[in-house]
Amino acid sequence: MADVLLEIEDLEARIGAGPRAVRAVDGVSLRIRRGETYALLGESGCGKSMTALSIMRLLPAPAGRITGGRVLLDGIDLLGLSEARMRAVRGGRIGMIFQEPMTSLNPVLTVGEQIAESVRIHRGLRGGALRGRVLELLDAVGIPDARRRAGEYPHQLSGGMKQRVMIAIALAGEPELLIADEPTTALDVTIQAEVLELLRRLRAETGMALLLITHDLGVVAQTADRVGVMYAGQLVEEAARAPFFADPRHPYSRKLFDSVPTMAKRARPLAVIPGSVPELTATFSGCRFAERCARAWDACRERVPQWHRVADGHGVRCHLYDAALVAGAPGAAVSADAAADADTAAAAPAPEAGGHGPGGADLLRVRDLAVHFPVRSGLFARTRAKVYAVDGVSLAVGVGRTVALVGESGCGKTTVAKAILQLIRPTAGSVRFDGVELTALRGRALRARRRDFQIVFQDPYASMNPRMRVGEIVEEGMAALGLVADRAARRRRVAELLAQVGLSEPALSRYPHEFSGGQRQRICIARALAVDPRLIVCDEPTSALDVSVQAQILNLLKGLQDRLGLSYLFITHNLSVVSYLADEIAVMYLGRIVEHGPVSAVLAAPRHPYTEALLAAVPTLEAGAHRPVIRLEGDPPSPVDPPPGCHFQPRCPRAMPVCRERYPVGTVVGAGHEVRCHLYPGA
Amino acid sequence: MLAYIVRRILYAIPILIGVNVITFALFFAVNTPNDVARMQLGVKRVTPQAIEEWKREHGYDKPLFYNAARSGLARLTDTIFFQKSVRLFAFDFGRSDSGRDIGADIRQRMWPSLAIAVPVFIVGLLTNITMALLIVFFRATYLEVSAVVLTVVMMSISSLFYIIAGQFLIGKLMHLVPISGYSGGLSAFKFLVLPVAVGVISGIGSGTRWYRTIFLEEFGKDYVRTARAKGLSELRVLFRHVLKNGMVPILTGAVVILPLLFTGNLILESFFGIPGLGSYTIDAIQGQDFAIVRSMVFLGSVFYIVGLLLTDISYTLVDPRIRLR
Amino acid sequence: MVKPVFLWTDTLLYVLVAAVAVLVWYVRRHEHLRAPWREVFRNRMGVAAMVVLAAYVTVGLLDSVHFRLPLESSAAGGERYSGQVLSVLDLLLTPLRTHQEETYSAPLATRLYSKETVRLPDGRDVRIYPRLRFGGAQLRDPARDRLPDIERTILRGVGFALLVWGALAAVVILVLARRHRWAPRAALQRVLAGRTDYPVHVALYTAGALILFASVTGHLAVHYHVFGTDKVGQDVFYETLKSIRTGLVIGTLTTLVMLPLAIVLGITAGYFRSWVDDVIQYIYTTLNSIPGVLLIVGAILMLEVYMANHPGDFQTVIARADLRLLFLCIILGITSWTGLCRLLRGEALKLRELDYVQAAQAFGVGHTKILARHILPNVMHIVLITVVLDFSGLVLAEAVLTYVGVGVDPTTYSWGNMINGARLELARDPVVWWSLAAAFLFMFGLVLSANLFADAVRDAFDPRAGGGRRGG
């Protein structure tokens, strides 16, 4: 196997010492060939990042350490190298980029200096040659105007630019292997598409191998040659991309696929993986996934599964593929998974096909909503400029319906949510809830209305007071609004609510930190439900969660809507969630809605060029179905100083002279489908 | 930037007025100008005429805050508070209660104060940063543990002990340097060695610990991981990346006290008999000379506000992320 | 019967002790509050520091129970009491308090430190170092007997200490054994090897060192002046023990004064922003810009004048000195609240944007309730860390301020007064060093243990310091 570049054998890494040590990586073996893209796929806490850091010997000291195994780069064991020789490997033969480009660059050094540093060490260039090489690298990663950018500091660059700079730093040593640890997770989907495209291109140009660490099946489908699936510190499946996407073998891999929300799955609940990842402090006597596996039987709990080759280059760690054991398995061995999905059906009752009925009157009507934040400067701190965070948004949510508000970070969608809830007072416009103008209400009158509309936040870790018990958290709203005066009755109601979101009564007297992310989000939903709201604004409720947990929450939200007739305003950047859950979609760009209409219409035939680009950027699971990415020029403009005419015009591939002159008016292009673009001149 | 500075200077005015109100209220709440006059003239044989005379001479012959006898704006302006404050704002300190020219005193006594405070500041800063860097470089070794323990011990010792022990050991037992008797010129240099050394040593404990915390915090950040992933040596990571980032809070923290160096170090100056502003203040306290104390309060406040402004400006110099608006 | 006397600082100290007791009870019932404290108790340095602090606090509290003894002559009828206010500590230290010499004497000396003219029985006047009235008075020939007697006394002290410590260790180990159902022998082994949940062995060793010190000095103090005597012949050991209370009062009551101000203003400024924030920022910038020492000077001068004009308000010297101490605490509090206030404002600014605060607002929860339920509990760790960190600084500040002349009353026992009084004596030849040494030693002990304790608390409570429990 001369073409093997990196070989990992039985790698073990631990965080901490003694009996409480976490076995973050527990016997991982894999091989990466030259020029190949190997995707390490897994949910949070599965040990994929720790594997990458172990290769670089960069585990967080002194808690983390490698306790066993070998890491061979071209036959040289990296774990045996002296620190000085290892430094030549880091940044030289192996480059690495990280998830958070915002914090991964040194804020007080210019971009050029940070790249030059790496070039100097590994290529030994000085003076003019060094400067030339830095500019070359900036060019190579697609940063325009490299000479100027080299003298800028990281904070002057956008997130996508920063990640490009990170890549340039990693490329400086002309590595044979580039490790990319969730390189696009913190980026918007259009930026993600560009960065992935860049990585693909660089790999083709330089012939380096790429170890891509990700949790996103779509990214894997678009980028990888080979895939390794990690679960609880171990590799559970490994295959080339095509066979893996065609026929994933491990029950965990299958569940991952099934839990991805799509338009096609609208009619039924998503598959979920019950329970949560086991604690890695324990020693396992059986399969690590057995507790959560629908197909587990006695053998899975008693014997540690071995690695089985199921096809050429396709291996699985599962008893289902052990000929000696599979006889004891319930049901047929490899084919059936319909039966296995029985548990998902129980999670929520199946709604009637075709989504929800047309719904009655509009519960919420927002007209020309605007929120401007003043920017003060000058001698007397006068308002010199404004941040046009929300600048004329109109939308309506019908009873029992779900409207998705979609847009990239900074487009103002969260501000819309807070302005609707009157957490931020709008600068202008009207918010009518059930016929009542909310912007006119003050004090007690507004407080009395608050029970009708509630919010679920994005970050389940920040949305609950860590010093309060779950019971107190859930009942806070009831007490504040004086809904249930009697303490005992309130307690009963809280227990009821927790049961409704799938938590048991003992949770009442526990603290938020004792729950996982998904469970916390359930508690937040219970808190919102406590006051019997009619509308719930969900602000990215699943974007901090793993895909299998996301499925649980989506099922729960859908089930609650069917039972209670709730309306949702669902704010998200995730179009697959939209396609699964929403009835209508509104696409936001820089404080305004550029297109809205029924989900089926907009997603199938987007009209606005921005919507088109957004949809094209979403990586799809259909491997090979490689849609061309619509490249958007530059970065999203600042809401302080929106471009003249159509806000999207500087980046629009189809911009016309008129676009620079005035903002387009809305044009109806279908039933309830409206778009604001000069391509569709009004009727 | 300029607009920002002008705005900050304008903002200083209400603060200085507030400071003056507080000092006036404090000093005259219980001690009426009559009491002051009586004390300054000596307790024995004070005639009411002599008191009135003294008050007129020193500008205390008006009501404190509100002059009901006058009309219009003069009700507020023809008062001790207004008259004295306005002069202070023009940095005209007037005469002390015992008749000295405060402005001249300050100008003269400023230099000895600086002669001790500046070296203490610079040497102290360098020493503390060096110590902190060393400790951080030897992270997770016994060297670090013992150095940290040493700093705790050092900061638990009273500054008075450093002074007394220094004077006793170096000055008295070894006769290396004179203990007191400051004079200008070259001989001052030899004399200043001990007070400066004492000043630096008494600050090592807390200073080093503080900087160490700053550097350690920087070490935990993501960009350090990036630097390591580039293949940088630990020394380079420390000096090129961590030190540079750590200097942002260190420098800006140091800048705020820079102007206050003018007002001197009360304890050091008093112990070593240095005729600076610190000992001037102490003498004024012990002599109950309110005019001097008030002037020093005003001066201290001005310097503090200048320090805050310098801090903001120094941020823009060392941290590219910060711009003043 | 004795007549109890409640000084202002006594009362406030009792309130503080009660508050701490309530807090302990509250923390014990809340798991998330207990967890960081458990970390503190697992920190070996922290445990050692706590044992030492406990010793200081015990002495300080004993010195805070004041009363006046009945006069013996009044046994007949109407209750009449001595004008002298004493504390429990004074009673315990009666020999130290009453063994008054003429003037300076060195530690463990039997003769005065300076020559005096003494008339011999035969009528001649000679200048000699006269025998002390109490120090070593039991010895017939001090030159010959002094050292052997001191050695014997020390040995007795060590023996007694071993006895007491052994008993204490036995009790602790037996209690542990009972609680964990270990055999006593196994418990002993575990404790010695440090294989217990909390570092019991560290606590025992520290307590052992303290008991040893107390026992040896205690035995010696009966017949000697362990730390010598001062200018007026007062026992220095007694003075330094009495100074402990002053140090503790300044370190704790000052924070008690500043806390309400700092907390209320800090979190309201950060939470409400707008004009509330502007006003509060103005207040603390103004206060901050006045040099702290000068502000204290002004206030103390004011107090002195007030006291001079109202001599009738103070029945006893001690009450007068006590009021000045209290006032010093108040004024120190007023000058030091700004730092914490600014910290809390910054934290409240961050917290108000957090989702759980927004969620509460979405329910229409009132501002007061949000401040009390969501903001305050989440800044308490900062308050705690600041309070503990400030303590040692305040103890040190007392000495400096007293030196400048604006500290505690000259009649109050304090380390600052001891240093101030003894400073000039360094110029004497030979040097009188013991007052300084005793003051610095006891102050150092308190400040060092407070600093170590503060470190342990910060490591456990500060989320930024969390995670890495490194080093020893």
pLDDT tens by residue, C306-317: 777 777 776 677
Contact (CB, 8 A) for B259 and B306 = yes
Query: Quick check: A340 pLDDT over 50?
Result: no
Round to the nearest angstrom and report the end-to-end CA distance of chain A.
66
φ, ψ of residue B260 to 5 degrees: the values are -70, -10
pLDDT per residue over C102-157, tens digit each?
Answer: 888 888 888 778 777 777 788 888 887 877 777 777 777 877 888 888 888 999 99
Query: Quick check: A226 pLDDT over 50?
Result: yes
Strands of the sheet with A22-33, listed across from one edge: A22-33, A4-15, A64-73, A76-77
Please tell me what DSSP assigns to residue B226. H
At what angle are helices B159-166 and C376-404 packed, to 10 degrees?
Answer: 30
Q: Say yes or no: B214 contacts chain C, CB-CB below 8 A.
A: no
Strands (E), A74-192: 76-77, 94-97, 177-181
More confident residue, C336 or A345: C336
* Mean pLDDT, residues A236-247 taken together: 90
Confidence (pLDDT) at A310: 87
Chains that touch B (3 or more CB pairs under 8 A): A, C
Angle at A63 between CA A62 and CA A68, to 5 degrees: 100
CA–CA distance, B129 with B209 (Å, rounded to integer): 10
Confidence (pLDDT) at B126: 93
Tokens encoding B176: 């290396």
Query: Quick check: C471 pLDDT over 50?
Result: no
Please report, as a single letter, which amino acid is at residue A327. A
pLDDT confidence band for C210 (50 / 70 / 90):
very high
pLDDT per residue over A550-602, tens digit each?
Answer: 888 888 888 888 888 889 999 988 888 888 888 999 999 888 899 999 988 88
Show me where the domains of chain B are located.
Answer: 2-90, 117-318
Q: Say yes or no: B76 contacts chain C, CB-CB below 8 A.
A: no
Going by C-alpha positions, the residue among C408, C395, C440, C265 that lies closest to residue C341 is C265
Confidence (pLDDT) at A179: 93
Confidence (pLDDT) at B37: 72
Residue carrying the six token digits 């402090």: A281
Residue C458's alpha-carbon distances to A320, C288, C389, C428, in angstroms, are: 52, 25, 9, 45
Q: Spell out which residues of chain B touch residue A155, defining contact as CB-CB under 8 Å.
A: 320-321
As a whole number, the mean pLDDT across chain A is 84
Confidence (pLDDT) at C468: 36
Q: Say yes or no: A481 contacts chain C, CB-CB below 8 A.
A: yes
More confident residue, A105 or B287: A105
* Mean pLDDT, residues B145-162 taken together: 90
Query: Quick check: A348 pLDDT over 60?
Result: no
pLDDT confidence band for C248 (50 / 70 / 90):
very high
Q: Pick C256-469's CATH classification: 1.10.1530.10, 1.10.3720.10, 3.40.50.150, 3.30.300.30.
A: 1.10.3720.10
Q: Before A62, cis peptide (omega within 30)?
A: yes
More confident residue, B281 or A40: A40
pLDDT confidence band for B193 (50 / 70 / 90):
confident
For A366-378, the DSSP string reads EEEEEEEEEEEET
**Inter-chain contact A108–B245, Cβ cutoff 8 Å?**
yes
As a whole number, the mean pLDDT across chain B is 81
| Buried/exposed A8-32: b ≥16 CB within 10 Å, e otherwise | beebbbbbeeeeebbbbbbebbbbb
Strands of the sheet with A428-433, listed across from one edge: A382-398, A362-377, A428-433, A436-437
CA–CA distance, A260 with A258 (Å, rounded to integer): 6
Round to the nearest angstrom and report the end-to-end CA distance of chain C.
53
Confidence (pLDDT) at C472: 27
Q: Say yes or no: C322 contacts chain B, CB-CB below 8 A.
A: no
Nearest CA in chain C to B35: C305
Confidence (pLDDT) at B122: 92
As a whole number, the mean pLDDT across chain C is 85
ipTM of the prediction:
0.84
Contact (CB, 8 A) for C235 and C99 = yes
Q: Spell out which residues of chain C touch residue B164, defining contact as CB-CB under 8 Å.
A: 419, 423, 426, 436
Is the CA virtual torsion C77, C78, C79, C80 positive or negative?
negative
Q: How many CB atoms lie within 10 A of CB A484?
A: 18
**Inter-chain contact A513–C468, Cβ cutoff 8 Å?**
no
Confidence (pLDDT) at C6: 87
pLDDT confidence band for B253 (50 / 70 / 90):
confident
Q: A261-265, A367-371, B69-73: which has the highest mean pLDDT?
A: A367-371
Best C358, C369, C370 residue to mutate vs chain A (most A CBs within 10 Å): C358
Tokens encoding B222: 């993501």
Going by C-alpha positions, the residue among A131, A137, A147 that lies closest to residue A174 is A137
Confidence (pTM): 0.85
Q: CA gyration radius for chain B?
A: 25
Contact (CB, 8 A) for A460 and A524 = yes
Confidence (pLDDT) at B30: 64
**Inter-chain contact A457–C359, Cβ cutoff 8 Å?**
yes
Please report, as a single letter, which amino acid is at residue C436. L
Please tell me what DSSP assigns to residue C229. B
Strands (E), A608-671: 666-670
* Superfamily name with CATH number, domain B117-318: MetI-like (1.10.3720.10)
Q: Say yes or no: C32 contacts chain A, CB-CB below 8 A.
A: yes
Confidence (pLDDT) at C466: 42
pLDDT confidence band for A626 (50 / 70 / 90):
low
Q: Say yes or no: C377 contacts chain A, CB-CB below 8 A.
A: yes
Interface list for chain A against chain B, based on CB atoms closer than 8 Å: 56, 58, 61-62, 84, 87-92, 95-96, 98, 100, 103-109, 117-118, 121-122, 153, 155, 166, 169-170, 172-173, 376-381
Q: Spell out which residues of chain B touch residue C451, defining contact as CB-CB under 8 Å.
A: 152, 155-156
Alpha helices in C63-141 (DSSP H): 88-92, 94-98
* Mean pLDDT, residues A307-320 taken together: 88
Contact (CB, 8 A) for A601 and A673 = yes
CA–CA distance, B52 with B55 (Å, rounded to integer): 5
Best A380, A433, A476, A535 residue to mutate vs chain C (most C CBs within 10 Å): A476
Residue B50, judged by CB atoms within 10 A of its CB (0-12, 13-18, 19+), counts as: middle
Going by C-alpha positions, the residue among C165, C188, C167 that lies closest to residue C176 is C188
Q: Say yes or no: C196 contacts chain A, CB-CB below 8 A.
A: no
pLDDT confidence band for C449 (50 / 70 / 90):
very high
Weakest-pLDDT range from A173-182, B71-80, C218-227: B71-80
Q: How many CB atoms lie within 10 A of CB C28?
A: 11
Q: Spell out which residues of chain A touch residue B245, defining contact as CB-CB under 8 Å.
A: 106-108
* Mean pLDDT, residues B235-240 taken together: 90
Tokens encoding A59: 């585990």
More confident residue, C195 or B176: C195
CA–CA distance, A476 with A483 (Å, rounded to integer): 10
Confidence (pLDDT) at C298: 77
**Inter-chain contact C470–A62, Cβ cutoff 8 Å?**
yes
Please tell me what DSSP assigns to residue C408. S
Round to the nearest angstrom and report the end-to-end CA distance of chain B.
6
CA–CA distance, B277 with B296 (Å, rounded to integer): 9
Confidence (pLDDT) at C440: 92
CA–CA distance, C355 with A455 (Å, rounded to integer): 10
Confidence (pLDDT) at A339: 39
pLDDT confidence band for C76 (50 / 70 / 90):
low
Show me where the domains of chain C are located.
Answer: 139-221, 256-469
Please report, as a single letter, which amino acid is at residue C250. I
Confidence (pLDDT) at A341: 43
Residue carrying the six token digits 């404090």: B26
Confidence (pLDDT) at C469: 34
pLDDT per residue over C290-341, tens digit each?
Answer: 888 788 877 887 787 777 777 777 667 788 888 889 989 998 888 888 889 9
Confidence (pLDDT) at A75: 87
Give the three-state DSSP class for A306: coil
CA–CA distance, A169 with A173 (Å, rounded to integer): 8
Residue A188's alpha-carbon distances to A165, A196, A211, A635, in angstroms, are: 17, 12, 21, 11
| Buried/exposed B265-279: b ≥16 CB within 10 Å, e otherwise | bbbbbbbbebbbbbb
